[in-house]
Amino acid sequence: MLIWGLKRVQQGMKRAFGGRLTYLIRDRFAGVWSALGLGVFLTLILQSSTASALLAASLGVQGEAGLALLLGADVGTTLVALVLSFDLSAFSPLLLAVGIFMELRAKDKRQRGIGEGLMGLGLMLLALGLLRQQAVPLEGSELFSDMLQSLIAEPWLAILFAAVLTFLLHSSLVMVLLLAGLVGAGVIGVESGMMLILGVNIGSAGIPVYLSRKSSNAKRVAPLGNLILRTIGAMAFAPWVTEVHMGLNYVSMDPAWQVVLMHCLFNVTVAAFGMLIVSKLAGWIDTRLPRETLAPLPSPKYLKDVQETAPSAALANVVRDTLTMGELLEDMLREVHLGMTERYDALEKKIHQSDDIIDDFHQQINAYLLELGGQDLTEDERYRCQDLLLFITNIEHAGDTLERSMTLLLKKKNNLHIDFTDYENEALDSSMKAIFKVMPMSFQVMMSEDVSSARGLIQAKHEFNINHQKFLDGQQHRTMQAEKANPVAHSLFTDLMRDVKRLHSHFTAIAYPVLNREGELRTSRWRGYNEPKSAQSMPDQLNDAPAPDVLVNDKTDVAQSDADQAAEVMAQVGQIGEQPEVSETAEVLPVQAGVKPL
């Protein structure tokens, strides 16, 4: 019950203040002394030094700052233990009642988290009271006393036993309170309890070391430094336990209180000594760790010298590197898709890194294609060069949409503790899956320039636009009918759906130049516009003509704004009416000048 109550407190505080804690760690703390205070603060909130260390490490607090944070977290644990060592079990029913009431009547995520935390604290106080009651019969148990005395007779064996038990429980706070209860009941002596406290501190330092064993060197430095300091501290304190006991008799005569004070004295001493050598110790550990073999960042590999490569081979090489760009973008999309339903603190950093790589690909491929365009190319090769320029630009724009808009919207959603409704989550999930479905089709058109595949891509866009509008209309209707709608949540959902539509348009844009060369697109979407008679007979002037307004241009989402506009384009492709599916052998005739479109 004690462990479960502690977990409830941790989960509740993370739910209530997780976003604000992330903001404080990332934006408000810098330097070793700030990190020390941050460690104390986080542990008072989360009730666990291990949880504080893992949260801070996930947000980039590493090296000497991470070591200082762990030292502060250990001091924070002692403060929590000092408070809980008092007999506060009388407050347990009140905390449980208030916590249950808040969790059942909570109107938002923060109130629910606070209620869960109060319930957990009430359970902890109740468990400690029961522990004190159950420890009384153990005082007269000869078997239990003989077992403990044989263990405590060997001080270093007792330290090892306490360290292993603490590691298995994954909580030093639980062990400290347990030992205080046993000492207070007279089951074990005060000096034996102090010796076991030293083992508890070593065991708690081993937990972050184990959890970070597969992490980078930067993340392993702080846990290893903390373990070294606490081991040295335990070795220094062990010979002086009797003297420490005598000194604490002047402070308090309560045996349980003396054990908790020993825990406090040990951690404050280790923290004070550690802060004096934190920089040197972190540097020394970093030099002793095996060097990491960092994987090289992806970069274009097939862009050979334009002057020494045939145009057809150069274009094929561009396609190979463009496929790598597509794989990177797909990974970014999956990360953002995951971040829509789960809290993902590292999302912004990962998306930023991936977008930088995609920007580098775009810059190099773009320069390569522009240089290639200045060579003596055939008409088909020049068309191919232009299509690839359009495609890589849209991939780069899609990456910018993920980094500069969608990740920031998801960050705002998490910081404000906003939960989307089931309908909104379904709409986002369905729309993202439609993007994953259209991506292979887009790359197929890019590689083959097949007309029937391009028609299929336009058909997919038409279906997406209809479903996208249905989701928006449905969400707007539900918001208007709700008794208490959240305008911020409505705005965030609408913005995310807008960005999803923009992403979908970036992938379908490659179909338009393919269909345009086949004469299957209008120059204008306005029904009253009549194309010039020579529009279908000027293939040699296509290179100099402005791009049709249906093409994606300069990060602008040119997806049709309603189903009628989408249907108008589809009518030219021959997909409206009785032909919902695209036939691979379908032949679509170009619109003749002067003929009113259907």
Q: Mind spelling out the 3-state secondary structure of 544-578?
A: CCCCCCCCCECCECCCCCCHHHHHHHHHHHCCCCC
Please give the single-letter amino acid code of residue 570. M
Closest C-alpha among 304, 474, 445, 458 to residue 384: 445
Cα–Cα dist 102/116, whole Å: 8
User: Going residue by residue through the chain (598 aa), what tens digit of pLDDT does each one get?
Assistant: 656 665 666 666 666 665 555 555 554 555 678 778 777 876 776 666 666 666 566 555 667 777 888 888 888 888 877 777 666 667 778 878 888 888 777 777 777 777 877 787 777 667 666 655 665 565 556 666 676 667 767 788 888 888 888 888 777 777 887 788 778 777 778 888 888 889 888 988 888 888 777 777 777 888 888 899 999 999 998 888 888 888 888 877 788 888 888 888 898 999 899 888 888 888 888 888 887 555 567 788 888 888 888 888 889 989 999 999 999 999 999 999 988 887 766 788 788 888 989 999 999 999 999 888 888 889 998 999 999 999 999 999 999 999 999 998 998 888 787 888 889 999 999 999 999 999 999 999 999 889 999 999 999 999 999 999 999 999 888 888 887 778 888 899 999 999 999 999 999 999 999 999 888 887 777 766 665 554 444 444 434 433 444 333 333 343 333 434 443 434 343 333 333 333 333 333 333 333 333 3
Residue 71, judged by CB atoms within 10 A of its CB (0-12, 13-18, 19+), counts as buried
Q: What is the pLDDT of residue 228?
A: 92
**Cα→Cα distances 166→66, 169, 244, 281, Å:** 22, 5, 23, 25
What is d(CA 98, CA 118) in angstroms, rounded to the nearest whole number?
7
Count of CB atoms situated within 10 Å of the CB of 95: 20
Question: Do the Cβ atoms of 131 and 178 come closer than 8 Å?
Answer: yes
Task: Answer yes or no: pTM beyond 0.85.
Answer: no
If you search the block for the tokens 């992806």, which residue do you land on? 298
Other CB atoms within 10 A of residue 413 CB: 21
Q: What is the reported pLDDT for 249?
A: 80
φ/ψ region of 374 (left if φ > 0, alpha if ψ in -120 to 50, else beta) reads: alpha
Under 8 Å between Cβ of 59 and 212: no
- The token duo for 108 is 């938002």
DSSP 97-134: HHHHHHHHH-SSHHHHHHHHHHHHHHHHHHHHHHHHHH
Q: What would the two tokens of residue 258 be?
A: 């003396």
Burial category of 249 from C-beta neighbours within 10 Å (exposed 0-12, middle 13-18, buried 19 and up)? exposed
Query: Which pLDDT value is given to residue 497?
Result: 94
Report pLDDT for 88.
Answer: 66
Report all structural domains of the chain as residue ranges with CATH numbers, in order of start: 2-288 (no CATH), 300-417 (1.20.58.220), 422-529+538-593 (no CATH)
